[in-house]
Structure 1
């Protein structure tokens, strides 16, 4: 028997496990600051966001939007109400063409060009200060765990045997599903539901609770109507019972508080939550504590072993790509500059890329009332916006949550391109910008974004047009005749 070759020892300043958004940002930042960096990735560079998440889903949504415009244009007096021809194989090529266009930014070659040692292996800790990855034994001053998360299959008896689609497989389809049964009414499930429906598939959604549970109830109610108007069958507070394979796809029973009926579908897509990737990493040997949500971290993203940080989805917090990048910045400030930087989610934004989009930042009304007691709520509807009227896109609103003194605690926008407009309110919250600054800014006319200025101004209307200002104006007019 041939003797096993001894492991090659590597020593570095920073060793990053995971080549997704958080890991790549941390590795690139550390390397560009002069640190010696090793990056370990066992799968595809770019992680979930590039390969099976944000990039392919938004590419599919773009195709669905283009298809929807065939019929939506009729409201503007353009064209005939004809169904577009859907070439799903061409859509598949479009999706993967977008991935290929972005991939060089996340490639091994780019990171090696930054002076980073990239190792394509599985990483396992052997002690609090060391790990192995293939033929390498690595020690580092700081370790970063950024292994991300994966879709979970709910514990519905018989569901796993169907081999359901997840975000890791749905974008590999080259033929459109006839009838897509989606389990989960969160952002991913709803985005996929609207996209596939607009591309010609029948779509049914089953959720054990209500749709968009983290968003304002007014947003969920509006989206509920939009989805049903587009022909999506929505079952909330429902259970899927006895799913089985059939010759044409799957069959199951849907049970709601008031009804029970059978359903057949060609495909099942699971979009019902995610699980942190913490298995088979030797975390116990590294002295790293983990729980049901992922790795336990403090405010500085340090694990129970202070030499090891956890970033992104695996850290058990909000699961967004922009949070992964934000976490990388927190790590850089701590590990590279020695600053005690901590995470602060007070201005955390998120967007559900439906049509209209649902964008939110800060606290919801319920969260604000729980924390601050009495709050002021302002809602301005898009049908009062001239650009929305011109484009016949008047569904939606902006909702502001304020303290009694006008400090912005949270904002929700439901509108076309709401994700492009929510950053203003994120800046207001994080930069402690006064509401009066938004109310007095000059906004270009006509734009959808004027709705934010209108909402800010609504707070000051009672004060501006109240009894005291009117009295003062009357005195001024008498004096300056």
Structure 2
């Protein structure tokens, strides 16, 4: 049996950085990863997908160059092999960077293999037994495959496998109208494929307010994406040259099908029962406000604990654990103000409560909206789709939430994220003097238009 001061299971966006901090403190740490360092973000999520989004935007801009007086003769051709290779290069650079970093770190032992608990202080991997007083789980999540009629008869894609495509689908059917599915839908439409999105719910991006969901749908439809919402039945059948996707309202002959119906935690094969670690009905590991499980000495970080499911929230889990365990701090998950983005083009930047959530809270609220068509920078760039929206507490004057669907919305939202984390009231933020011409310069104006709602 090999003894360590700590064992980290999973090489995503929380565990490895926590392991590095512990090594800096003189601890002996084992980091166990069953596949690739970097987790979903580096290998199958943010980095490769946003690289693909960039290639898709380049194609879109080239096709629309004439609007800006830039005439490109001939058809805009897409080389999917080059597109894929570029995304793979970005992934490999990041992954190899982590490998090199850890290789030069005394006190760090990286083990590739499938770890399972033997008891609360012991795990086995590759036939070896390891023990430590502290064990951290950062095992991430994977795509959910729904039990739909005919699904086992077709070759479907997931968000993990689609990034390896080096040919252009004739017609991509996306099953699921949430964030992952919508990014791939627009991306492949811009590459030149016909695209259909099939969503069970009444709206796309169902977490958002209806006005945001409707605007997202308008953006995608304007680019020729076929959207089907409120679909109750989906079935698949394979023919010689197509996959038939049959719903209660349509029949689609697709060349490729992407299943984007959510993700589930990688907790079902860790031997958690042997350690006594409790999970909820969805398989997420139950943790307290400091990310500790019900078993002393075991913590769960990142996607597998059900709090956030984003790279930045996973990294924040590392920050919380490191601050509490290594720096004598008292940080809590409940102090986190959730923010995220949807990387269609234009992107959606979101923070805090939706309007629906704010109303349900019983607060007296104020709301302001402003179309991007009234933003100078958006007009100058010829990108006026979308709008800004902010919600505030009428009594405390604190900002409760905001959504910016529009050019640079994923960057502009950070002004509001920072204000909310600092506890700044909206009247104080109104007096800032932003730079012109930017999208962010409209934030004080947006706040100045807040009205009781």
Normalised by the shorter chain, which TM-score bucket?
over 0.9
SS of aligned partner of 1:44: coil
* Cα 1:242–1:213 shift into 2, 3 Å: closer
Q: TM-score, normalised by structure 2?
A: 0.95
- Corresponding position of 1:241: 234
- Corresponding position of 2:447: 456
In 1, the alpha carbon distance for the partners of 2:335 and 2:154 equals 38
- Corresponding position of 1:30: 22
- Corresponding position of 2:381: 391
- Corresponding position of 1:358: 348
- Corresponding position of 2:325: 335
Q: Which moved more, 1:97-106 or 1:13-22?
A: 97-106
8 Å contact from structure 1 (residues 402, 410) kept in 2: yes
In 1, the alpha carbon distance for the partners of 2:89 and 2:115 equals 30
In 2, the alpha carbon distance for the partners of 1:187 and 1:83 equals 30
8 Å contact from structure 1 (residues 215, 360) kept in 2: no
Do residues 65 (structure 1) and 57 (structure 2) align? yes
8 Å contact from structure 1 (residues 89, 175) kept in 2: yes
Match of 2:400 among 397, 409, 415: 409
- Corresponding position of 1:468: none
SS of aligned partner of 2:361: helix
Q: Which moved more, 1:388-397 or 1:192-201?
A: 388-397
Do residues 424 (structure 1) and 404 (structure 2) align? no
Q: Which moved more, 1:365-374 or 1:395-404?
A: 365-374
Q: 1:437 Cα shift?
A: 3.1
SS of aligned partner of 1:290: coil
8 Å contact from structure 1 (residues 380, 454) kept in 2: no
Q: 1:346 Cα shift?
A: 4.9
RMSD: 1.7
8 Å contact from structure 2 (residues 280, 286) kept in 1: yes
8 Å contact from structure 1 (residues 345, 362) kept in 2: no
Deviations 1:150-189 (A, max 9, x none): 0011121211332310012101111111100000100110
In 1, the alpha carbon distance for the partners of 2:306 and 2:442 equals 35
Q: 1:340 Cα shift?
A: 3.8
Please list, as runs of the form range in 1=range in 2, the aligned pairs for 1:29-428 lying within 5 A after superposition: 29-79=21-71, 83-107=75-99, 109-115=100-106, 116-209=108-201, 210-255=203-248, 260-293=249-282, 294-344=284-334, 346-405=336-395, 406-428=397-419
8 Å contact from structure 1 (residues 181, 269) kept in 2: yes
In 2, the alpha carbon distance for the partners of 1:352 and 1:241 equals 25
In 1, the alpha carbon distance for the partners of 2:13 and 2:70 equals 42
* Cα 1:345–1:197 shift into 2, 3 Å: farther
Q: State the number of aligned residues.
A: 448
Runs of 4+ aligned structure 1 residues displaced above 3 Å come to: 80-83, 337-340
Deviations 1:311-333 (A, max 9, x none): 11100222101111001111112
8 Å contact from structure 2 (residues 219, 385) kept in 1: no
Deviations 1:187-218 (A, max 9, x none): 11000000000000000010101211112222
Q: 1:76 Cα shift?
A: 2.4
In 2, the alpha carbon distance for the partners of 1:38 and 1:161 equals 41
Match of 1:445 among 436, 442, 447: 436
SS of aligned partner of 1:295: coil
In 1, the alpha carbon distance for the partners of 2:128 and 2:49 equals 36
8 Å contact from structure 1 (residues 351, 358) kept in 2: yes
Q: TM-score, normalised by structure 1?
A: 0.90
Q: 1:453 Cα shift?
A: 2.2
Q: Which moved more, 1:54-63 or 1:450-459?
A: 450-459
Q: Which moved more, 1:277-286 or 1:81-90?
A: 81-90
SS of aligned partner of 2:64: helix
